[in-house]
Chain A
């Protein structure tokens, strides 16, 4: 990577981070909403722990993995909406007149998402500890969760960037939110896959990559070090990330076609 590209990334990353952190509507909902949802769900679903084979006797410990993934879904929206605004306001067109590389723009743009993803994860970990959840994988496990959650946020954020580059509209990005939620809802977020009784739901949850992301984070909280769950989670996150980067890069070349 040349020094010029590094400088371009640095400028755009600083802009992206400041822009993200200066908008309370970007920062507060991803912190409040997932923690509120998990608190309410944990209270209502506590009887689930009496089901034979349920892996823990604390539903809160079981469900605390969900905010990490839900927060990452917010990253998709934030990253997409931000980039769409740059497109709608003509900022991207002005950049296209400069020697700015498309890859620098994408990487720089992701900085805000990564920082917010990291802050979210720290907040969720502190919340979990405050409500009495103990991480079976210990302190190192908490750091692995931070890494995995940041990777997931970046992967989803890059997918949001792809959507923004294709549609160029913030409203269209917002409209995709329910579709992203499908992946969260039809997963093992509330029940371990082996305890899901409805056959089609079990199949849907099994082929849904979000199940593996949740189970990876969850394993560090309720099981300890589970190589298979962690390996699958990192592999799925990396695959989503690589595909999203490829799609976003392709969309960027289309969007920034210099004539």
Chain B
């Protein structure tokens, strides 16, 4: 890629990202659910279920608030990606994406722009959530480097969420595809050990959680917060592999949209 091509590519990426972030943060019916839902989950889980930390076999020294903080952080990352996918579907449905495609010399830049906006959108939520968690007295046993491990893992989950929903949005090109974007991500997240550690789950949920990649992201994230890192390589490897596979899925969706003349 020449210097001119690179500048043109960057210009498309930044243009798409800026527009999407601007829409996401200035439209009340988009910004409110984006920020409110992670907070509801955090409040409801950390506040309403804290007695679970007294169950025999529940060992997490930093307390239930920190235990749930990791889940809500990863969930907000995944849904930051999915909610951006809704915007992509809307752009296709209303014909804006067609103009974007015509204007972009390299159309993968459009996808990268959306991914960048999903990341910025999640960062806003992550900052707010982190401030709230420390404000309510969350205990952290991990060092700065270990915490960086959590904040490094979440963008991979965010990218996976965005790429999954972008693939759907570009194939179906309608906002009605929302449940198809949202539901699998929701299930993947909640089929992990959300409320108690994996060792306390019993029955089918335990079997499903054991093969769920999000389980290892959650366990690694919680271990980063507790300062006793486990499964870090596995979590990064799984999340990275998931994102890499979904890059192909999203790019193929983009080609299908191109072929359909969207």
The smallest beta-carbon distance between A198 and chain B, in angstroms, is 5
Q: B39-55 interface mask toward A, CB cutoff 8 Å, 1 = contact, 0 = none?
A: 01101101111111011
Indicate if the CB atoms of B29 and A185 lie closer than 8 Å: no
B179 within 8 A of partner (CB) = yes
Complex CA gap A185/B47 in Å reads: 10
B200 within 8 A of partner (CB) = yes
Indicate if the CB atoms of A185 and B200 lie closer than 8 Å: no
Indicate if the CB atoms of B29 and A175 lie closer than 8 Å: yes
Interface 9-mer from A70-78, A105-113, A189-197? A189-197
Contact of B40 (CB < 8 Å), options: A44, A51, A182: A182
The smallest beta-carbon distance between A132 and chain B, in angstroms, is 13
The smallest beta-carbon distance between B185 and chain A, in angstroms, is 13
Q: What residue of chain B has the Cβ atom nearest to residue A45's Cβ?
A: B195
Number of interface residues of A (CB under 8 A): 34
- Contacts across chains A and B counted by CB atoms under 8 Å: 95
Indicate if the CB atoms of B28 and A44 lie closer than 8 Å: no
A40 within 8 A of partner (CB) = yes
Indicate if the CB atoms of B196 and A185 lie closer than 8 Å: no
Contact of B52 (CB < 8 Å), options: A41, A43, A48: A48
The smallest beta-carbon distance between B190 and chain A, in angstroms, is 4
Contact of A191 (CB < 8 Å), options: B46, B48, B54: B48
Complex CA gap A179/B40 in Å reads: 10
Interface residues of A in 189-209 (CB under 8 A from B): 189-191, 195-198, 200-201, 205
Q: B13-45 interface mask toward A, CB cutoff 8 Å, 1 = contact, 0 = none?
A: 000000000000000110011001100110110
Interface residues of A in 131-184 (CB under 8 A from B): 171-172, 174-175, 177-179, 181-182
Q: Which secondary structure characterizes the binding site on chain A? A: helix
Specify which chain A residues have a CB less than 8 angstroms from the CB of B203 in the assembled complex: 43, 46
Range class of the B interface residue count: 35 or more
Specify which chain B residues have a CB less than 8 angstroms from the CB of A45 in the assembled complex: 49, 52, 195-196
With A40-B187, A44-B190, A44-B196 in contact, do A185 and B40 touch (Cβ < 8 Å)?
A: yes
Specify which chain B residues have a CB less than 8 angstroms from the CB of A179 in the assembled complex: 36
Q: What residue of chain A has the Cβ atom nearest to residue B204's Cβ?
A: A43
Complex CA gap A51/B51 in Å reads: 8
With A40-B190, A43-B203, A44-B195 in contact, do A196 and B28 touch (Cβ < 8 Å)?
A: no
Indicate if the CB atoms of B194 and A44 lie closer than 8 Å: yes
Interface residues of B in 195-228 (CB under 8 A from A): 195-196, 200-205
A186 within 8 A of partner (CB) = yes
With A43-B205, A44-B201, A191-B49 in contact, do A185 and B28 touch (Cβ < 8 Å)?
A: no
B86 within 8 A of partner (CB) = no
A227 within 8 A of partner (CB) = no
Indicate if the CB atoms of A178 and B205 lie closer than 8 Å: no
Specify which chain A residues have a CB less than 8 angstroms from the CB of B37 in the assembled complex: 178, 181
B: which residues have CB within 8 A of A?
28-29, 32-33, 36-37, 40-41, 43-44, 46-52, 54-56, 176, 179, 183, 187, 190-191, 193-196, 200-205
Given contacts A45-B196, A178-B33, A189-B48, 12 further A-B contacts (CB under 8 A): A44-B193, A44-B196, A47-B195, A47-B202, A48-B51, A178-B32, A181-B40, A182-B40, A191-B48, A191-B49, A195-B51, A198-B47
28 contacting pairs across A/B (C-beta < 8 A)? A40-B191, A41-B190, A43-B205, A44-B190, A44-B194, A44-B195, A44-B205, A45-B195, A45-B196, A46-B202, A46-B203, A47-B202, A48-B55, A51-B51, A51-B52, A51-B54, A175-B33, A178-B33, A178-B36, A181-B40, A185-B48, A186-B47, A190-B49, A196-B47, A196-B48, A196-B50, A197-B51, A198-B46
5 interchain residue pairs of minimum CB distance: A201-B47, A43-B205, A185-B44, A175-B29, A178-B36
